[in-house]
């Protein structure tokens, strides 16, 4: 680990934290579940003063959502969404632990680092930047994280909708 890796930006720390939750989705209804990752994202949003709703129609297949009020409630809301599950990782095929969220030489390694826990972290920290600056978006923003995207959303977004 380089000196730069010791103090990564918040977005990298959040992404690394999300990677550490093994949310493996094997497909066909077989999954480790997204509950702990959803609770982490929910706690992050709640710490920003937002109310979070959880929806778990199937045990451990947790979805969450929050709505940030905009200045002009007449405009349609903007939805920012991501998924919390990942495809399986065979640890023997990796040079790092796929669920360690390791930052090495300025690069975050782990299952979900490029699909999609990195983007989930970007959504969370972008919302945090806006709210911490005391700003209010022009229109409502709905932030949602789904379970089961890696299996077509059958046990995630399809049930939420």
Give buried/exposed letters for 19-53 (b at 16+ CB in 10 A, else e).
Answer: bbbbbbbeeeeebbbbbbbbbbbbebbeeeebebe
Spell out the SS3 assignment of the chain: CCCHHHCCCHHHHHHHHHHCCCCEEEECCEECCCHHHHHHHHHHHHHCCCCCEEEEEECCEEEEEEEECCCCCCCCCEEEEEECCECCCCHHHCCCCCCCCEEECCEEECCCCCCCHHHHHHHHHHHHHHHHCCCCCCCCEEEEEECCHHHCCCCCHHHHC
Residues with pLDDT less than 50, the chain: 1-2
What are 72-106's pLDDT values in tens digits? 999 999 999 999 999 999 999 999 999 999 999 89
CA separation for the pair 34, 37 (Å, rounded): 5
Instruction: Determine the pLDDT at residue 37.
Output: 98
Give the residue numbers marked as catalytic: 85, 149
Q: Which of 49, 15, 36, 19 is nearest to 120 (CA)?
A: 15
Instruction: Determine the pLDDT at residue 1.
Output: 47
Instruction: Determine the pLDDT at residue 4.
Output: 52
Instruction: Determine the pLDDT at residue 91.
Output: 93
Q: Which domains does the chain have, with CATH numbers?
A: 4-160 (3.40.630.10)
CA separation for the pair 64, 151 (Å, rounded): 18
Question: What does the angle CA 79 – CA 82 – CA 85 come to, to the nearest 5 degrees?
Answer: 155
């Amino acid at each position: 680990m380089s000196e730069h890796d010791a103090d990564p930006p918040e977005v990298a720390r959040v992404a690394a934290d999300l990677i550490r939750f093994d949310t493996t989705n094997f497909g066909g209804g077989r999954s480790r579940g997204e509950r702990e990752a959803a609770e982490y994202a929910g706690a992050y949003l709640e710490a920003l003063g937002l109310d979070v709703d959880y929806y778990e129609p199937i045990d451990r297949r947790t979805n969450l959502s929050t709505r940030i009020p905009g200045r002009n409630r007449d405009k349609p809301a903007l939805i920012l969404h991501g998924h919390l599950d990942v495809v399986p990782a065979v640890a023997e095929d990796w040079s790092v632990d796929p669920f360690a969220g390791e930052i090495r030489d300025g690069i975050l390694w782990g299952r979900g680092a490029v699909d999609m826990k990195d983007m989930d972290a970007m959504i969370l920290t972008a919302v945090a930047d806006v709210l911490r600056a005391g700003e209010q978006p022009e229109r409502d923003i709905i932030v949602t994280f789904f379970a089961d995207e890696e299996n077509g959303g059958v046990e995630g977004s399809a049930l939420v909708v």
